Amino acid sequence: MGPQLYGDGSYNWTDAKTTLSSELTDLYMDGCFWGGGVAISNYIDANIENSSYNNQLAIPVSNGSENFAVVYGDYSYVYFNDGEPRVIKSIDVCPTSYVLNSETIGDGTSNTLQNDPNGWFKVTVVADDDEDNFVEFYLCKDGVVQKDWKTVDLSALGKVTMLTFYFSGSDTGSWGLNTPAYFALDNVKVGEDFTGISSLQNSESRTHDAYNLFGVRVNEDYKGIVIQNGKKILRK
């Protein structure tokens, strides 16, 4: 995990079948995972009592897949690298071990949500940066904590080129959300095909093609945020 996610910021992956892709969000401009992103993992840690940020890529229970993805932080995203809109029918989601520790035990920074009738932790999935086109799912609602995998229907979003993830919850403080902003993602159903995270690999290929946030290919004169070589770039 260290050399790839806390290295030079070049970490990225692409699914060869659908071109579903992602990389580090890099909110702090230092190329490290603590700035957010979507990372491939295969770590299982059912020992929730000892889970913390030190094993941020672990999940408490396997769904049988070889690998899965861990989404961390607001503005993390996945997108189709070829810019072709597709219907993502559903995704499978699960709390990470770190999140489950926070929700059920508390970690000194966050408060326990389990059995709190007002406790909740939610992920909002926004299509193509359109704040009016979104789907929400809960990892905790009314004090009931999700502890296993579940399927979330995204078909209402229609054809999309990008999904962006945002976190919210009942436990907040002066710095915002206290509950760790993570969840695991797998079994992305694109059209009639499943994109199992196990098929995703780090992408070594590079292209000069650039796309705007709506997945439209743009030329070198385009100004604004573009996606090129698996990274968001601001052109001025």
pLDDT band at residue 219 using 50, 70 and 90 as cut-offs: confident
Q: Compute φ and ψ for 55, nearest 5 degrees.
A: -130, 55
Q: Can you tell me whether residue 34 is helix, strand or coil? A: helix
Query: What is the structure's pLDDT at 206?
Result: 44
Higher per-residue pLDDT: 220 or 127: 127
**Mean pLDDT, the chain, as a whole number?**
86
pLDDT band at residue 218 using 50, 70 and 90 as cut-offs: confident
Q: Is the pLDDT of residue 203 over 50?
A: no
pLDDT band at residue 51 using 50, 70 and 90 as cut-offs: confident
Q: Is the pLDDT of residue 202 over 70?
A: no
Among 26-35, 138-147, 152-161, the minimum mean pLDDT is found in: 26-35
Q: Is the pLDDT of residue 34 over 60?
A: yes
For residues 67-87, give the mean pLDDT: 95
What is the CATH code for 2-206?
2.60.120.1350
Query: What is the structure's pLDDT at 139?
Result: 98
Residue 2's contacts (CB-CB under 8 Å, 6 or more residues apart) are none
Q: Compute φ and ψ for 145, nearest 5 degrees.
A: -95, 130
The Cα–Cα gap between 218 and 1 comes to 34
The Cα–Cα gap between 99 and 79 comes to 25
Q: Is the pLDDT of residue 43 over 90?
A: yes
Q: Based on C-alpha coordinates, what's the Rg of the chain?
A: 17
pLDDT band at residue 236 using 50, 70 and 90 as cut-offs: low
Q: Is the pLDDT of residue 204 over 50?
A: no
